Amino acid sequence: MVLLVLFIFVAFVFITYSKKNAEFEEREAMVKETNDCLAAGDWKCAERNVRELLKAEPNDTNLRMHLAGLLLEQERYKECVSYIESLDFKSEKLDYFIEKAKRLEQEMENLGVEKSMHFRLEFDGSPSKKDVMEALAVLEVAYDSISNLFDFLPENKMSLVLYQEKEYQGVGPRPDWVAAVFDGKLRVPVNLMAYREVYRPVLFHELTHSFVRSMTRAQVPLWMNEGIAMVVDGSHNDEPRPIGSYPSLKSLTEPFVNESDTEKAKKLYWFSKKMVQELLWRDGGGADAFRNFAKCLQDLHELGTDGALKKHYGMTARDLLESVK
C-alpha cells in the first residue's frame, strides 16, 4: 500500500513537472517569436503574442509597456494613450509613448492625405497637386518593379510623408547628410520633387528598405540593407572607390546614421553596394540573382547572417568583405 501511494505521488510530481516544463517551453517559444516579430516590425504578430503572454502574467510591467509601444507603432494613438492611462504604474518610457502618440496624432490631423493602390501619402504645407500625384505614380511604378525583382508582395499598405517642416522628418537626431529616411514610413523632403533625377532614385531606395523589412523577421545587417537599396536605386553606379582605409565589418553592420562624417558615411555606402553587387554577380546578376538574395534575407531569421550567406553564396560576411577589398 505504501509503495502504491509512493508511486501515485511520484507520478503526480512527474505529471506536474512535465506540464510546467511544457508550459515553460511554450512560453519561451512565444517570447522568441515575439522578439523576432519586433525585430522585423511585424507589429500585428507581436501584439497577438504579447496579449497571449499577458493572459498568464497580467501584471508583468515589461509586457504591458511592450503592448503600449505596439499600439503606438500601429498608429493607434488614442488607444495607446488610453491604455497607458489605465495602467497602475508610471515610467519615463510610458511618458515618452504618450508624448509621441499625441504628437503623431497631431501630425496626422495636420497633414494632407492622398491614397493610391499600395500607398498612403501624407504631406505638410501646400505642395502642388502635381508633386503629390507624381510621388504616388513613381511609388506605384517602383512597387511593381521591386515586387517583380524579388518575387514578393508586402502584406500591408505603405506610408510616405512628404515634409517641409523639421517636425515631420521622423524621430531622433540625424546627421546633416541624411535627407530621406525610412522609419516605418518613407519620409522624403518635398523640395526633392523639383529634381526628377534626384527624387526618383530616392523613392526607389527608401521603398526597397520597406520591402526588405517586409521580407524577413530578422535584424538585417546595414551593409545588406543599404547595399541592395543602392543597387535598386541605381544612382551611385559611377562613384569611384573611396580612398583611405577599408571599413570594418562592425562599422558596416551598425546604423550608418551614427556616422557624422560625410566622407566616412560615403565609404560605408560604397562598400555596402559593392558587397551586395558581388553577391548578385555570383548568381549571374539577372532576375534569379535578386530572387535568391530575397531568399537569403528570409533565411536570416533562422540561420543568422553568416549561416544564410553560406547557404546561398558559400561564404561569410567577412569573406565577402575581403573579396571586395
Residue-wise pLDDT tens digits, 209-236? 889 988 887 789 999 999 999 999 987 7
Domain match, 317 and 220 both: yes
Q: Which of 205, 238, 267 is at the close of a domain? A: 205
Domain that holds residue 192: 111-205
Report percent pLDDT > 90 for the chain. 28
Name the residue among 153, 320, 225, 211 with its Cα closest to residue 312.
320
Residue 217, pLDDT score: 75
Q: What is the pLDDT of residue 27?
A: 81
**pLDDT over 90 (residue 140):** yes
201 shares a domain with 159: yes
| Tens-place pLDDT, residues 238-295 | 788 888 888 999 999 988 766 677 788 889 999 999 999 999 999 988 889 999 999 9
pLDDT of residue 307: 96
Last-in-domain residue among 75, 110, 145: 110
Kindly write down the DSSP assignment for every residue of 216-282, as one continuous string: -SS---HHHHHHHHHHHH-SSTTPPPPPSSPPPHHHHHS-GGG---HHHHHHHHHHHHHHHHHHHHH
Of 9, 49, 5, the closest CA to residue 30 belongs to 49
* pLDDT the model gives residue 272: 94
Q: What pLDDT, on a 0 to 100 scale, did the predictor assign at position 298?
A: 92
Is residue 167 situated within a structural domain? Answer: yes
> Residue 300 has what pLDDT?
92
Inform me whether the pLDDT recorded for 319 exceeds 90.
yes
Contact (Cβ atoms closer than 8 angstroms) between residue 171 and residue 183? yes
Please tell me whether residues 91 and 194 are part of one structural domain. no
* Pair (31, 133) in one structural domain: no
Burial of 290 from C-beta contacts in 10 A (0-12 / 13-18 / 19+): buried
pLDDT at 42 over 80: no
pLDDT of residue 122: 82
Task: Indicate the average pLDDT of the chain.
Answer: 82
Which of 177, 205, 233 represents a domain boundary (last residue)? 205
Give the CATH number of the domain where residue 89 resides.
1.25.40.10
1 in any annotated domain:
no
Domain assignment present for 12: no
On the question of pLDDT at 4 being above 60, the answer is no
The DSSP call for residue 169 is S
Predicted confidence (pLDDT) at residue 312 exceeds the cutoff of 50: yes
Does residue 19 register a pLDDT over 80?
Answer: no
Radius of gyration over every alpha carbon of the chain, rounded to an integer in angstroms: 24
* Dist CA 68 CA 97 (whole Å): 8
Minimum mean pLDDT range among 15-24, 200-209, 314-323: 15-24
**How far, rounded to the nearest angstrom, does the alpha carbon of residue 321 sit from its chain's CA centroid?**
23
Identify the band that residue 130 occupies on the pLDDT scale cut at 50, 70 and 90: confident
Structure confidence by residue, pLDDT tens digits, 87-106: 998 888 899 889 888 887 77
Q: Which one has a higher pLDDT value, 316 or 25?
A: 316
Q: Is the pLDDT of residue 25 over 80?
A: no
**How crowded is the C-beta side of 26, counted as CA atoms within 13 Å?**
10
277 vs 237: CA distance, rounded Å = 11
CA dihedral in degrees (189, 193, 197, 200; nearest 10)? 70
Same domain, yes or no: 323 and 222: yes
Same domain? For 106 and 150 the reply is no
Instruction: Quick: pLDDT tens for 166-210.
Output: 655 555 555 454 567 777 778 888 777 777 778 888 889 889 988
Whether residue 12 is predicted with pLDDT greater than 90 in this model: the reply is no
Helix (H/G/I), strand (E/B), else coil: 74: coil
Report the CATH number at residue 174.
1.10.390.10
- Confidence bin at 134 (pLDDT 50/70/90): confident
State yes or no: pLDDT of 30 exceeds 90: no
Count of domains forming the chain: 3
Whether this prediction's pTM lies above 0.75 is answered by no
